[in-house]
Amino acid sequence: MAKGRLRRCFPGPAIAVSQERMADPSFRKALVQLLTDLDDKTPAEAWPVVSKADSKANEARDSVHPKFITEILTGILRGIGQPVDVARIYKRTREDVLWSKAYKPWRPKRWAAVEQNPDPFGTQRAWKSSKLFHYDDTQLTVSTLRPYLAQVATRGTVALKYHIFTPDCRPRICQGHSTFPKLSLLVADDPYLFLADLELWDQDWLDDWLIANLQSSNSCTLLADLIEGYTATATSHYAESPEDISLMLLTSMDLWVALDKCAIHQHSLLSSYDPGFSHSLFNPFQLPKKLQMERLSRVQQYVTKRINASLYGSLHLFRDIDAKDSFAVRFFEESLHHQILRRDIEAAANIEREQKKMEFEEKHRQYHRMLEESAEICCDRIQWNRHSRSTHGPNCTKCQLISSATSMQITVHEWPLPGREIETKSAVFELDVPTAIAKWRNATYALLVDIFSPVASNLQSDTKVYFLSKFSGLSKYASSRTGRLQLASRKKPFVNAHYGTKKISGATEESICVNNGLQYSMYDSKLSKFTGELLGRCDVLRICTFQLPCGPYGTLQFALDGTTHTSNEMVARQAECPKALNQHEFYAFTALRSGDRLQWRNIARELVARVLNFSHEETYLLVAQTAWQVGRPGDGKLCREAHADLEEEEFGMLLLSVMGEAVGTAEGNWQNAVAIRTIVALATRLLSCPLTVVSTEVAAAF
């Protein structure tokens, strides 16, 4: 049986019978009798026959063969008449059947007639002006219409109801280097226009804006706030599209590079520290356009330059505050402002400590005085005359003095700064972090933990921590706005523990003047976890990879996730082939991405072999993942390692040739829309890589 639609001709055989023959009553009677019998009784020869259990049976559900009309009747009429040539139309038709849990399907014959009847009008000859009757057409009685027309002439006017149209034209981001995007333009119910405008501004105008505003003290704040607002909005609205997520990550890194340049311009010490982005972090991005590839190349070159020029790791920025090479310690050693701040804190603490000692001496003297007074008097007793007995008085002065003396307490004075010198420097720095550094650090940490790292699961927040900025001895010195990253301690300070008060009876100057009891670490106040538990998890492979839907290909997700599996391994894993696929298609699907440098040649081979069904959505996802994922960077080349074959003119022309053949095969059937979409994706990727003039013209024409 042929695939596709059946090409049919309407009308079928045409036979002209003379009027004399049609006037013969016996002929008309025989013709009518034949048509009536064929309509009432279907001849056995017309029924389709099926074989079941070695027996033959008529298939009542199939179409009856029309040969008794198209062959026998036309043959009889041909013997008494003459064939004539009439205007015919040709249509590609298929049998439309409605059938759901029924004995016989319903075949709508009228639908075929409706499809066919309008076509003959296209074959009619154009009208001739000589056949118009101009005079007759002007003499119309319109007896029914005249009363209505007379009524219309006397009808009064009706007031029109209208309202003023006020278009909802919301302000948009101005595309230019002199204007910075405003987050206030973000509309909650329709953020996509804002996101598109921001991404376009970042692509076209960010570099020019940075040149003009590099030395501005407010640049870091503007860029950091824009990164935070953009990523928060784009993450929620791009979540289901790896291509859009990749564009968001690229745009975020563009903005971060600008932020990093501004922060380093203001504080050059930052250039000595690795920001925390690895070389391979950007490899899973899906970037189908040439301009996007160029932007990623510039970002990756800048990050590589920063990593190579750094002297210390990123943990010295976000975690290790007790290391001598931590950023906070080194900045303190170079900052006269923070050194003066430390002296002010220590000077005030010394004054408070002296006051605490004076308070202790005063209470200590009072304690001994009360004990001496109690020693000079006796307890009060009450005499009972009736029985000549006495008892201890409830308001005994001696006992009250003793009780007051023994209950006297004093609060301890806790030194406000940590005991170790390195931790002291870090603590003083965190009390007054420069704005540019605070904005840079919060934005960089948010990208590393919130955007470029998978969502942390099974993380339990710390129940109780004590912040540096809220410590009673330091809160008045915390001049910087509290950010996401703060110093916090799991251990309690003395003033919050049961050691916070001492009884005068057992207290000494050493016991009431204590060291600082807190042990600080860097803390994420948004996720309520210490940063050491959240760093080092950057991986965007999951969010930048298409996910196969449930179905026959659902278990083959590993074929999209990477290129490290080999073709031999796929041969060995043929036992995992889903039942709905054959072994050849399983191997072709899973081995397509076996090896970075083999992917495009595997695609070209499959376009010729056609083992894969390119009409399936899963095949499109596999090919699009292969074509759009950037992969490892090449040796200074735009097309990177995985797409190096596209820079060869011979391979490019070969690929265009096989794609042209594939289009020619698929274009005749609307069910191959997915296949056409797949081939278009390949062609646009081919155009995104540098080609020769001839190859570029051929690819564009394709």
Number of alpha helices (DSSP H) and beta strands (DSSP E) in the chain: 26, 16
**Residue-level pLDDT at 694:** 47
Proportion of the chain above pLDDT 90, given as a percent? 42
CB 545 within 8 A of CB 625: yes
- Per-residue confidence band for 152, with pLDDT thresholds at 50, 70 and 90: confident
Residue with the larger pLDDT of the pair 170 and 444: 444
Please report, for the chain, the start and end positions of each structural domain, with discontinuous segments joined by +.
6-120, 190-311, 336-533, 545-688
- Per-residue confidence band for 149, with pLDDT thresholds at 50, 70 and 90: confident
**Most confident listed range (322-326, 398-402, 459-463, 496-500):** 322-326
Mean pLDDT of 443-462: 83
Phi-psi region for residue 458, left (φ > 0), alpha (ψ -120 to 50) or beta?
left
Question: Whole-number mean pLDDT of the chain?
Answer: 85
Mean pLDDT of 488-512: 84
Question: Residue 53: is its pLDDT beyond 50?
Answer: no
Burial of 361 (0-12, 13-18, 19+ CB in 10 A): exposed
Cα–Cα–Cα angle for 22, 27, 28, rounded to 5 degrees: 70
438-458 burial: b if 16+ Cβ within 10 Å, else e? bbbbbbbbbbbbbbbbeeeee
Closest CA to 416 of 525, 318, 513, 521: 513
Mean pLDDT of 660-673: 83
Mean pLDDT of 534-557: 92
Mean pLDDT of 189-217: 92
- Per-residue confidence band for 134, with pLDDT thresholds at 50, 70 and 90: low
Residue with the larger pLDDT of the pair 203 and 697: 203
**Residue-level pLDDT at 31:** 86
**Residue-level pLDDT at 102:** 66
**Residue-level pLDDT at 78:** 84
Residue with the larger pLDDT of the pair 338 and 668: 338
Mean pLDDT of 445-449: 95
**Residue-level pLDDT at 695:** 56
**Residue-level pLDDT at 57:** 60
Question: Residue 381: is its pLDDT beyond 80?
Answer: no
Question: Residue 693: is its pLDDT beyond 60?
Answer: no
Residue with the larger pLDDT of the pair 679 and 106: 679
**Residue-level pLDDT at 68:** 82
**Residue-level pLDDT at 58:** 61
